[in-house]
Structure 1
Amino acid sequence: MHARAVAATTTALLGAAALLIPAPAALAGAVQPTVIAHRGASAYAPENTLAAVDKAAELGIHWVENDVQRTKDGELVVLHDDNLKRTTDVEQLFPDRAPWKVKDFTAAEIARLDAGSWFDPTYADARVPTLKQYMDRVELNHQKLLLEIKNPELYPGIEKETLKLLGNEGWLDRPHLASRLIVQSFSADSVRTVHELKPAVKTGFLGTPPVSELSRYATFADQINPSYGSVSTGYVASVHAVEGPHGRPLEVFVWTVNDANTARLVAGYGVDGIITNTPDVVRDALPAQ
């Protein structure tokens, strides 16, 4: 969800969710869901930038989510869209290069772009980070990463390249694999490829597969990560009833929840994680451990 849509979405959801929110006592005995900062703390800083990572850390949020794509010359960069138009000044710097696809620009060209002014002029110095730069910052902040391989059909081999970079950066050692890294995608084939290349990596499938198909996804995915509006208590329970590739129940991380009422609603469903642009709002809405 776009960061600027947070306010409108919050207003719309408050009324719709109010009657469905579990009472605090219903949540008190449950394990508090993990809170994941969507594209960093993207309600407060330009998405997928180092500033958004730092803002999440400033708010005390341990998990950040990002999106990975590949440049023309093979550099992995952190950006949500497959083109540069929405979140950079690429139209001004390269007016004759429409439709401004990430895969048509070199890493050096992308490094020149202003990736912050679209959000707020005070972030004019923000740049599209390489995945290496992003990993360095996450490590510096002692944070954890939910990494999404975006549009893998556009970038053949991106799974292997992503895992290689993660390995080079020390993120495939036992401590990171145990509790600090999850790789996800909307592409089941991509998630399956990651699992086959590096079975120890925790993986997530973005979507809401039918309950009848969960056992198939459980052969390569540790998580089923749907839009919050597509789940219920029954669906979450059905996911939890299936054992994943590492011998543990499948988990559910939902996206993108940006207000307190909806956070309490989905927590009542029993979800394991909540992906949000406003991680402080979601965290503060949940009962303390």
Structure 2
Amino acid sequence: MTIRPLTVTAAGALLGTSALFLTAAPTATAADRADATAVREGSPVPVAHRGASGYAPENTLAAVDKAHSMGIDWVETDVQRTKDGELIVMHDTTLSRTTDVEQRFPDRSPWKVSDFTLKEIRGLDAGGWFDSRYKGEKVPTLDQFLDRVDHNRQRLLLELKSPELYPGIERQTLRELGSEGWLGRSHRSKLIVQSFNADAVKRVHHYRSEVKTGFLGTPKPEELNSYARFADQINPSYKDVSESYVKAVHAVRGPHHRPLEVFTWTVNDAATARKVTDAGVDGIISNKPDVVTGALRAAGTDD
């Protein structure tokens, strides 16, 4: 399967519904959709969820490299902040599931990310829980993660995880992205910032309107115009994907005057990959992206 460059910008924020619904976004025309053929034509883009997390410990450099070895262009990850104000890559708001923090610091339950310094977190084993082969793998800082993705010439779907716990993390993350060169023209098509927190998505768009953003969730079709005022992508769970919903999303233009797009999560089997593809999604986020590409390749052969 040929993976084409993506021209995506993501969707939405709920900063108070009264403010949100003041102005509707215009409906996308056929010409607008033709302008986004890099995504609309062909198969959806496969995205490695927390790296190729079905095969390597999630959100580690090993998972990024595993996705790269599979030929996966897009990598999804999560950003949080340590006690001393450093940005790290971690999905859970606690460290217990994916590190040995309980053994190293047994008296510091519930082991929140925000209760530990970067030095303490960097001293943890973030790989042994997954497989003994990965014992000693570290929790990456955001800049380390960005460097590895850039080195591999991959693209990044960056989630602000629970930003309500980390005031100002939107601006801080943008500063980090800028210092690492990810906000320049050469990287602009390689980055999407998303969150379940709609206010955070809106802030990202306000601070850097050129950055592509995504809202994780399933707004009602009648709400899509309002989301599209500050976002270019609506990213629902695969359980909420239907052909009619995807068409409703595609019918609306985002703030960059392109049709809203749909990246769905988390698809780890071939049958679901084919189902959401038939529904018209633009991207499929998966722990096992090779399963997705295999299913799409087989479906293409059958056509």
**TM-score, with length taken from structure 1:** 0.89
The 4+ residue runs of structure 1 with deviation greater than 4 A are none
For these two proteins, the number of residue pairs brought into alignment is 260
Whether contact under 8 Å (1:207, 1:225) holds in the other structure is: yes
Query: What residue is the counterpart of 1:118 in the other structure?
Result: 129
Counterpart among 257, 279, 301 of residue 269 in structure 1: 279
SS of corresponding position for 2:128: coil
- Write the mapping of 1:81-120 to structure 2, written as runs, cut at 5 A: 81-120=92-131
Worse-matched range after superposition: 30-39 or 224-233:
30-39
1:202 deviates by 0.3
In the alignment, does 2:154 pair up with 1:176? no
Q: Distance in 2 between matches of 1:95 and 1:217?
A: 44
Counterpart among 75, 94, 113 of residue 64 in structure 1: 75
Whether contact under 8 Å (1:30, 1:270) holds in the other structure is: no
1:176 deviates by 1.1
Query: What residue is the counterpart of 1:279 in the other structure?
Result: 289
Identity of paired residues, percent?
Answer: 67
Query: What residue is the counterpart of 2:178 in the other structure?
Result: 167
User: Which letter maps to 1:139?
Assistant: D
SS of corresponding position for 1:57: helix
Whether contact under 8 Å (1:228, 1:257) holds in the other structure is: yes
In the alignment, does 2:88 pair up with 1:52? no
In the alignment, does 2:146 pair up with 1:135? yes
Higher RCO structure (Cα 8 Å, ≥6 apart): 2
Q: Distance in 1 between matches of 2:238 and 2:274?
A: 12
Q: Distance in 1 between matches of 2:238 and 2:143?
A: 31
1:175 deviates by 2.0
Give CA deviations for 1:26-55 in whole Å, capped at 9, x if unaligned.
xxx952100000000000000000000000
Counterpart among 48, 55, 78 of residue 37 in structure 1: 48
5+ residue gaps, structure 2, are 1-39
Query: What residue is the counterpart of 1:190 in the other structure?
Result: 200
5+ residue gaps, structure 1, are 1-28
Q: Distance in 2 between matches of 1:285 and 1:264?
A: 7
Q: Distance in 1 between matches of 2:175 and 2:78?
A: 16
**TM-score, with length taken from structure 2:** 0.85
1:266 deviates by 0.4
Counterpart among 214, 217, 220 of residue 224 in structure 2: 214
1:220 deviates by 1.0
Q: Distance in 2 between matches of 1:121 and 1:45?
A: 11
User: Which letter maps to 1:200?
Assistant: E
Q: Distance in 1 between matches of 2:231 and 2:294?
A: 30
Q: Distance in 2 between matches of 1:31 and 1:159?
A: 33
Q: CA RMSD in A?
A: 1.1
Counterpart among 242, 249, 252 of residue 239 in structure 1: 249
1:232 deviates by 0.4
Q: Distance in 1 between matches of 2:146 and 2:207?
A: 20
SS of corresponding position for 1:208: coil
User: Which letter maps to 2:120?
Assistant: E
Query: What residue is the counterpart of 1:21 in the other structure?
Result: none
Whether contact under 8 Å (1:35, 1:283) holds in the other structure is: yes
1:125 deviates by 1.5
User: Which letter maps to 1:286?
Assistant: L
User: Which letter maps to 1:245?
Assistant: P
Q: Distance in 2 between matches of 1:136 and 1:271?
A: 29
Query: What residue is the counterpart of 1:260 in the other structure?
Result: 270
Q: Distance in 2 between matches of 1:45 and 1:169?
A: 25
Q: Distance in 2 between matches of 1:240 and 1:30?
A: 13
Give CA deviations for 1:227-261 in whole Å, capped at 9, x if unaligned.
01111000000000000010000000000000111
